[in-house]
Structure 1
Amino acid sequence: MNGTPFVHTTHWKEQAISFEGAEPARYEQKEGKFKLRCEKCGSPIGTWSSKTDEYSIWPSTLNRDRSGKPIGLDLMKPTGHIFYDTRVIDIDDGLPKWDEYEIKAEGKLEK
């Protein structure tokens, strides 16, 4: 819970992510789903799913260039909206919308 109307999350296959320094600490929150925190300061980084071999990483944790812009942000364009049934406002941007994770809606993962 964070109290904001939007949460920007990026989803990555395991081989697409690397961490600088120490690997994040992992805390199993339920079977196969782990919360990730910085080993040094404890800041939340994202989550890891062993069911999908996928990271969910919050862009606020990404390395930044000298201007403060996250490196690679131009490669992270939105592709859709998940959990749209719980939205607080409508979004008219032409992107697909799902009431669950996209991969579940497309039958790629068991519910």
Structure 2
Amino acid sequence: MLAPEGVTPLLKGGCFCEAVTYSIYGPPLLSAYCHCTNCQRLTGKFLQAPNSSVSAEAWIGCPFVHTIHFKETDFVWSWHHMQPSDLDYYENPLKPYKRRFRCKQCGAPVASFNTRTQQYSVWGASLERGLEGEILRWEQVKPTAHQFYGTRMLDVNGELGKWEGYEGESARIG
């Protein structure tokens, strides 16, 4: 999709080095902390000490991600700043309908596209930030739930609902 002429994006974001950028022109369909095993495996790794007499454990990466879903028609790659060759992708063989995009230069994950739902997902960490480091327009994208909480790597305190799958479409577990 091309950016609508004369319309200001609702949100902007991109990778760490800013070689890959995007704009969003519509409200989120979903905004949640995702604890699914795919997000866990694609963003980090849980390590246990090799010596069983040592009880050290460590998490490298993120045990969950802030995922925000948008209609395909509301998401636009900012090609005027980047080239298609700046973008790399990965297709999980278990979910060939979902393609995850990352920057070839810095390696940061940027977005994913689901051909079944015709939706893009972006991660909160990739959104444009203000001078103090805050995510711009946070009130419009702040998470409303923890999804796939049954497969969590750590317990999370707080007021947000915890769901076995997607919020409102699965059993609430907390």
Same fold, judged at TM 0.5 (above):
yes
Matched letter for residue 98 of structure 2? K
Task: Tell me the equivalent position of 2:135.
Answer: 70
CA–CA distance in structure 2, aligned partners of residues 42 and 6 of structure 1 = 18
Matched letter for residue 37 of structure 1? R
CA–CA distance in structure 1, aligned partners of residues 148 and 128 of structure 2 = 27
1:45-84 matches, within 5 Å, as 45-84=110-149
Task: Tell me the equivalent position of 2:53.
Answer: none
Greater share of strand residues, 1 or 2? 2
CA–CA distance in structure 2, aligned partners of residues 85 and 56 of structure 1 = 21
1:33 aligned onto 2:91: no
Deviation of 1:52 (Å): 0.9
1:15 aligned onto 2:73: yes
So what's the TM-score if we normalise by structure 2?
Answer: 0.49
CA–CA distance in structure 1, aligned partners of residues 155 and 133 of structure 2 = 29
Deviation of 1:103 (Å): 7.1
Matched letter for residue 86 of structure 1? T
Q: Structure 1 pair 25/51, CA: closer, same or farther in 2 (3 Å)?
A: same
Q: RMSD across aligned C-alpha pairs, in angstroms?
A: 2.6
Q: Structure 1 pair 72/96, CA: closer, same or farther in 2 (3 Å)?
A: same
CA–CA distance in structure 2, aligned partners of residues 76 and 54 of structure 1 = 16
Matched letter for residue 10 of structure 1? I
Identity over aligned pairs, percent: 35
Q: Structure 1 pair 98/16, CA: closer, same or farther in 2 (3 Å)?
A: same
Deviation of 1:42 (Å): 2.9
Task: Tell me the equivalent position of 2:157.
Answer: 91
CA–CA distance in structure 1, aligned partners of residues 158 and 121 of structure 2 = 24
Task: Tell me the equivalent position of 2:4.
Answer: none
Number of equivalenced pairs? 105
Query: Which structure carries more relative contact order (alpha carbon 8 Å, separation 6+)?
Result: 2
Task: Tell me the equivalent position of 2:165.
Answer: 100
Deviation of 1:49 (Å): 0.8
